[in-house]
């Protein structure tokens, strides 16, 4: 394959080609500092407030254009290669506002105006992807945007009314996007630093052997903060977002095979479809702009003790496919973590695929997230359970917890206190006592150690109540 040293993308309908790009320059810096486009704002520089929200459009399946809201403050500019960047300045057509903007004006959805462009772009993404959203869809779409003065009522009203506004002129975005698609690899050098974007797993493997100390970048929702908050200088970045094998989802007879670079937005529905009891937890996972950029493999490889996906995947006994050179090996997610931010990845090895088993028996699978806010908040505690009953007796029980130790891990003593016992309050009471043996949580800004442990015990009691409820049993059981 040939290599290319320029970043090519579409900006609001205009083809852009950039040379000598700083590998860690953010999209927001490019817009505000290089182009002097001041619509997108910097509020938090970590993807929490949504003031910087923009929309990225890219081709999927040849002709379909997919729209996703992302946080421009932590998205590195070279990752836009082959895509279209849509900003708040690009929505209006001449003197005509976009329906999203018109609805916001009509419903007085802006007060100080700082957050307004970010809300507009999240609403634009909703407008393009869902022609008839319900209130929950609107709330979910706006979960990554914070407003501290207007209040959400008029903004939600605008999100409802924008569909009744005169439709904008039709734009065929696929034409320009097709012009910048190619099979070349991206190799950028800037002041002694590199940004490398291979196109297949063989090339990725070779690059990691050539640059064993490189930073492997997927969605950037964590690594972006290394630059914006910790001011790190990243010498070599290897970007996985163009590697074909890491972007696929395949359903086999036994597993869902999810490529490590598949976004959470695309990966989660395939899991929740088989395990509907995980829906609420995954819906509360960060926000749409974070889920649109962040990847399932990145969440696992990052190994945060409060990563929301790992507890659920752990009780499902998910397997990880790791590759180094031409050799591949599988390891259980439950065996992957050694200590805080330390895992089983060897030098030059990378996460290729996550294998999530399909349900094979009548199992109740559920996950709970406990945090200070319902939306857009980091978990204080995240728990997951898998329960199989034979009559009133527990045939199999697994529980995994995040936020209680240096890594997400199984509650082995708690599992032993439940397995083989009657599924009732007395068993759960003994299991709650075992939780205190399994974990010795810490106190930090999110919760005290005592509150963490008590919350986890109460969440286990909640799972008992949910699992024995006749109405919920059919929702959370597979195959009944």
* Inter-CA distances, 232 with 20, 172, 313, 410, Å: 20, 40, 31, 33
Return the pLDDT at 480.
32
- pLDDT of amino acid 61: 82
Check: CB of residue 273 under 8 Å from CB of residue 256. Answer: no
Same domain, 388 and 422: yes
Residue-wise pLDDT for 270-302, tens only, equals: 999 999 999 988 888 889 999 999 999 999 999
Residue 372 CB: number of other CB atoms within 10 A?
11
pLDDT at 474 over 80: no
Provide the domain limits for residue 281. Answer: 248-357
In the prediction, which pLDDT does 378 show?
86
Q: What is the mean pLDDT of residues 142-171?
A: 94
| Residues 266 and 58 sit within 8 Å (Cβ to Cβ) | no
Q: What CATH number is attached to the domain comprising 371?
A: 3.30.390.50
How many structural domains does the chain have? 4
Average pLDDT of the segment spanning 371-400: 93
Give the mean pLDDT of 358-378.
Answer: 88
Output the domain CATH number for residue 118: 1.10.150.120
pLDDT (average), residues 136-156: 94
pLDDT of residue 280: 86
How far separated are the first and last CA of the chain, in Å rounded? 51
Final residue belonging to a domain, choices 314, 337, 357: 357
pLDDT digits (tens, 9 = 90+) for 103-116: 999 999 999 999 99
Pair of tokens at residue 84: 């279209």
Question: What are the pLDDT digits (tens) for 89-103?
Answer: 999 988 899 999 999
pLDDT at 478 over 70: no
Task: State the pLDDT confidence band at 468, using cuts at 50, 70 and 90.
Answer: confident
CATH number assigned to the domain comprising residue 77: 3.10.20.30
Examine the pLDDT at 84 and tell me if it is beyond 80: yes
113 and 212 co-located in one domain: no
One domain for residues 14 and 81 = yes
CB 454 within 8 A of CB 381: no
Cβ-based neighbour number of residue 430 at 10 Å = 13
Q: Which residues does residue 382 pair with via DSSP β-bridges, in sequence order?
A: 369, 402
**pLDDT above 50 (res 476):** no
> Are 270 and 336 part of one and the same domain?
yes
Query: Residues 108-125: what's their mean pLDDT?
Result: 96
Query: Could you give the CA distance from residue 411 to residue 383 in angstroms, rounded to a whole number?
Result: 10
Average pLDDT, the chain: 94
Calculate the CA 382 to chain-centre distance.
16
Q: Same domain, yes or no, for 68 and 201?
A: yes
Domain with residue 252: its CATH number is 3.30.465.10
CA-CA distance, 223 to 132, in Å (whole number)?
35
Rounded to an integer, what is the distance from CA 105 to the centroid of its chain?
Answer: 31
Q: Is a pLDDT exceeding 50 seen at residue 83? A: yes
As a whole number, mean pLDDT of residues 62-85 equals 96
Same domain, 50 and 181: yes
With beta carbons less than 8 A apart as the criterion, state whether 431 and 460 touch: yes
| Secondary structure class of 414 (helix, strand, coil) | helix
| Residues constituting the chain | 480
Give the span between the Cα atoms of 229 and 291, in whole angstroms. Answer: 20
pLDDT at 9 > cutoff 50: yes
Name which of 59, 182, 18, 44 is nearest 118 in CA terms.
44
**470 band by pLDDT with thresholds 50, 70 and 90:** very low
pLDDT band at 313 (very low <50, low <70, confident <90, very high): very high
- The torsion defined by the Cα of 333, 335, 341 and 346, in degrees rounded to 10, comes to -100
Whether 88 has a pLDDT exceeding 60, the answer reads yes
User: What are phi and psi for residue 388, nearest 5 degrees?
Assistant: -125, 125
pLDDT of residue 307: 86
Q: Which residue has the tokens 């910048």?
A: 180
More confident residue, 257 or 476: 257
pLDDT of residue 475: 40
pLDDT digits (tens, 9 = 90+) for 158-208: 999 999 999 998 889 999 999 999 989 999 999 999 999 999 999 999 999
Tokens of 416: 């032993």
Looking at the structure, do residues 337 and 419 belong to the same domain, yes or no? no
pLDDT of 18 higher than 90:
yes
Cβ contacts of 135 within 8 Å, gap of 6 or more: 156
Tokens matching residue 304: 């945060």
155 lies in the same domain as 297 = no
CA distances, 397 to each of 275, 366, 412, 466, 474 (Å): 16, 12, 10, 15, 18
309/201 same-domain check: no
d(Cα 419, Cα 10) in Å, to the nearest integer? 57
Domain C-terminal end among 103, 129, 164: 164
Domain boundary residue, one of 333, 357, 381? 357
Q: Calculate the CA 460 to chain-centre distance.
A: 26
pLDDT recorded at residue 228: 96
Same domain, yes or no, for 256 and 220?
no
pTM: 0.93
Same domain, 13 and 131: no
Q: Does 198 share its domain with 69?
A: yes
Q: What is the mean pLDDT of residues 53-67?
A: 93
453-463 pLDDT per residue, tens: 999 999 999 99
């Amino acid at each position: 394959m040939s290599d290319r040293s320029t970043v090519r993308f579409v900006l609001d309908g205009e083809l852009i080609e950039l040379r000598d790009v700083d590998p860690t320059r953010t999209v927001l810096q490019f817009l505000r500092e290089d182009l002097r486009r001041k619509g997108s704002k910097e509020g938090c520089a970590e993807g929490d407030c949504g003031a910087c929200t923009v929309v990225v459009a890219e081709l999927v399946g040849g002709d379909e254009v997919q729209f996703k809201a992302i946080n421009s403050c932590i998205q590195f500019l070279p990752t836009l290669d082959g895509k279209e960047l849509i900003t708040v300045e690009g929505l209006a057509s001449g003197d005509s506002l976009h329906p999203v903007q018109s609805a916001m004006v009509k419903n007085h959805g802006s007060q100080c105006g700082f957050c307004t462009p970010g809300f507009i772009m999240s609403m634009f993404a909703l407008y393009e992807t869902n022609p008839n959203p319900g209130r929950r869809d609107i709330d979910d779409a706006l979960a990554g945007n914070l407003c501290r003065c207007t209040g959400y009522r008029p903004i939600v009203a605008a999100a409802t009314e924008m569909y009744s506004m005169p439709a904008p002129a039709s734009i065929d975005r696929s034409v320009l996007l097709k012009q910048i698609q190619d099979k070349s690899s991206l190799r950028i050098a800037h002041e002694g630093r590199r940004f490398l974007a291979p196109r297949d797993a063989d090339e990725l493997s070779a690059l990691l052997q050539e640059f064993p100390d490189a930073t492997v970048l997927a969605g950037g929702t964590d690594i972006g903060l290394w630059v914006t908050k910790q001011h790190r200088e990243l010498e070599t970045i290897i970007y996985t977002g163009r590697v074909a094998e890491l972007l696929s989802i395949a359903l086999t007879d036994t597993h869902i095979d999810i490529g490590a670079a598949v976004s959470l937005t695309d990966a989660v529905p395939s899991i929740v479809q088989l395990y509907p009891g995980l829906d609420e937890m995954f819906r509360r996972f960060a926000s749409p702009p974070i889920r649109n950029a962040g990847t399932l493999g990145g969440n696992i490889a990052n190994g945060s003790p409060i990563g929301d996906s790992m507890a659920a995947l752990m009780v499902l006994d998910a397997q990880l496919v790791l590759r180094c050179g031409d050799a591949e090996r599988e390891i259980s997610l439950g065996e992957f973590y050694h200590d805080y931010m330390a895992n089983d990845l060897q030098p030059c090895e990378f996460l290729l695929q996550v294998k999530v088993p399909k349900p094979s028996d009548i199992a109740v699978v559920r996950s709970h997230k406990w945090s200070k806010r319902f939306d857009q908040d980091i978990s204080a505690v995240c728990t997951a359970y898998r329960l199989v009953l034979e009559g009133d007796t527990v045939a199999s029980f697994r529980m995994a917890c995040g936020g209680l130790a240096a890594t997400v891990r199984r509650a082995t003593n708690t599992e032993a206190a439940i397995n083989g016992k009657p599924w009732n309050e007395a068993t759960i009471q003994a299991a709650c006592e075992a939780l205190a043996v399994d974990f010795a949580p810490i106190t930090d800004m999110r919760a005290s150690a005592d509150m963490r442990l008590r919350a986890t015990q109460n969440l286990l009691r909640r799972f008992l109540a949910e699992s024995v409820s006749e109405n919920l049993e059919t929702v959370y059981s597979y195959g009944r």
